[in-house]
Structure 1
Amino acid sequence: MVVTKVEKLEPLPLRKEWMDDLAQAVAFLESLNLAHGDLRPENILFDRNRLKLSDFDSTAEIGTNYEACMAPYGRMLNSNETDLGECGTPGFLGPRTEQFTLGSLFYLINYGFEVYGDRCLTEDPYEHGPKVVELLQNMEFPELDGNPLIDNIIKKCWHNEFISISGLAAQTRDIRSSDGEATTAEEANGKSCDEAPISLGEGFTSEKEFCQDLEKRGLLHLLSLGEPEQIGFTFDWYRHSL
């Protein structure tokens, strides 16, 4: 069993920034009708103190059959979710799959280990992974006892309570700018998921138009090839620039 954990928790303001970095990036993809499809620690890069997404070979249009990300960053559908796809499969790629993954990433950032990564669920270590898959499929999650604002967002992500990733990004932006901790249930719940999504501003709009133009020129296809030289630089340059 491979356990992913962090050595220590970073200060709360930085953890909030990381959560917002991820949410805003996935919301940007959503604005292009795309979902990343493989959000997990291995596909997140550090740029000084900021987080950036990488590895877009599983990125696809929203509504595509979802096959990439495994537990605890993806979950199988149960028998009560047949409207979302076939039971025992990840279902269709979209806000539901992306927000679940973000919830598990937020858990890792704020608790220091993956979902159920702090305990042994089975006597045989090799059965731990399948047990996690089973628990998540049955919508059984670890108890949350950290920052109320953050825990509320994680819980909503796991239970598919955000209509869109832009709605999630609105809440991560709110807590990123907040100084204190929630003191009441009302404060922890934040804005309703049915409220209007966050306004991303003129800069975002121009970037969106730019990326839409790149998409029309075949960027999504090139990203999925896994061959950087097809995007205009050599493999040696790519390897030594990482």
Structure 2
Amino acid sequence: MVVTKVEKLEPLSLRKEWMNDLAEAIAFLESLNLAHGDLRPENILLDRNRLKLSDFDCAAKIGTNYEACMALYSRILNSNDVDQGECGTFGFLSPRTEQFALGSLFYLINYGFEVYGDRCLTEDPYEHSPKVVDLLQNMEFPKLDGDPLIDSVIEKCWHHKYVTVSELAAHTKRLLHERTDPAGSNGEGNREEGNNGLKSPVKLSFIVWWRMVMGRLIHGV
């Protein structure tokens, strides 16, 4: 299994700008009573160091069945989820679904790999994705050991603590002006711990990684 690993993250100030770019874009849709419904790296464009949303084919009114996106940017509802949709489905488009996807995107931006993308969870690589779905369904997430202010936002997104995406956007905007932990400012933390399952890492800069994602998308079109 070959894992693409970002060796060097972008500056913390730029990463916070990216988080705010995405949160404000989704908050604008929310003001129109719409949800994007398909938030994932392939649908985010990098334009002169700013992030912009694309592909609004799945955008729909809040409360519509959520069908487009898949794990890692959505999660199947379990029996503990109440009034969010039918158990075993992705539920309804709502601030819950949008902020969950944003949390996973924020994780990617600040850690350099997707959720559980730094390890092999199963001996059979083809069973890795189903295992991730199971973990997310049970609300089990990777350890967050980066900048505590950013990690707090990610954690709140995954546990749908923001009543609205506008509330989340207000938080990411404040984050632009808040001081962060110098020890975690490079996003490294204790990342090397717990990576025993990592095999054949390919290291590159985050912007190069994002351009690779977009290149695959354009080639596919």
Q: 1:113 aligns to what SS in structure 2?
A: coil
One-letter amino acid matched to 1:59? A
CA shift digits 1:50-88 (9 cap, x unpaired): 000000000000000000111111110001114211111
For 2:19 and 2:65, how far apart are their aligned partners in 1?
Answer: 26
One-letter amino acid matched to 1:111? Y
Describe how 1:157-176 pairs up with structure 2 within 5 A: 157-176=157-176
More strand by share: 2
Describe how 1:144-183 pairs up with structure 2 within 5 A: 144-178=144-178, 180-181=179-180
More helix by share: 1
Q: Is the 8 A contact 1:120 1:128 kept in 2?
A: yes
For 1:71 and 1:88, how far apart are their aligned partners in 2?
Answer: 13
Counterpart in the other structure of 2:187: none
Counterpart in the other structure of 1:44: 44
**Post-superposition offset of 1:177:** 2.2
Q: 1:65 aligns to what SS in structure 2?
A: coil
CA shift digits 1:14-35 (9 cap, x unpaired): 0000000000000000000000
Counterpart in the other structure of 2:95: 95
**Post-superposition offset of 1:176:** 1.2
* Bigger mean CA offset, 105-114 vs 3-12: 3-12
Distance change in 2, residues 1:18/1:26 (3 Å): same
Distance change in 2, residues 1:110/1:63 (3 Å): same
The number of residue pairs the alignment matches comes to 184
Counterpart in the other structure of 2:117: 117
Distance change in 2, residues 1:36/1:45 (3 Å): same
Name structure 2 gaps, 5 residues minimum. Answer: 183-217
Counterpart in the other structure of 1:61: 61
Q: 1:84 aligns to what SS in structure 2?
A: coil
Q: 1:177 aligns to what SS in structure 2?
A: coil
Describe how 1:16-35 pairs up with structure 2 within 5 A: 16-35=16-35
TM-score of the aligned structures, taking structure 2 as reference length? 0.80
Q: Is the 8 A contact 1:3 1:114 kept in 2?
A: no
For 1:167 and 1:82, how far apart are their aligned partners in 2?
Answer: 22
One-letter amino acid matched to 1:51? L
For 1:149 and 1:140, how far apart are their aligned partners in 2?
Answer: 20
Q: Is the 8 A contact 1:5 1:112 kept in 2?
A: yes
For 2:5 and 2:82, how far apart are their aligned partners in 1?
Answer: 33
Which of structure 1's runs of 4+ aligned residues deviate more than 4 A? 1-5
Q: 1:58 aligns to what SS in structure 2?
A: coil
Counterpart in the other structure of 1:142: 142
Distance change in 2, residues 1:112/1:69 (3 Å): same
Distance change in 2, residues 1:105/1:120 (3 Å): same
For 1:177 and 1:24, how far apart are their aligned partners in 2?
Answer: 16
By relative contact order (CA 8 Å, sep 6+), the higher-ranking structure is: 2
Q: Is the 8 A contact 1:5 1:114 kept in 2?
A: no
CA shift digits 1:155-183 (9 cap, x unpaired): 000001000000000000001122x2159
Name structure 1 gaps, 5 residues minimum. Answer: 184-238
For 2:117 and 2:32, how far apart are their aligned partners in 1?
Answer: 34
RMSD over aligned Cα, in angstroms?
1.8
Counterpart in the other structure of 2:212: none
For 1:129 and 1:44, how far apart are their aligned partners in 2?
Answer: 22
One-letter amino acid matched to 2:32? L
One-letter amino acid matched to 1:173? K
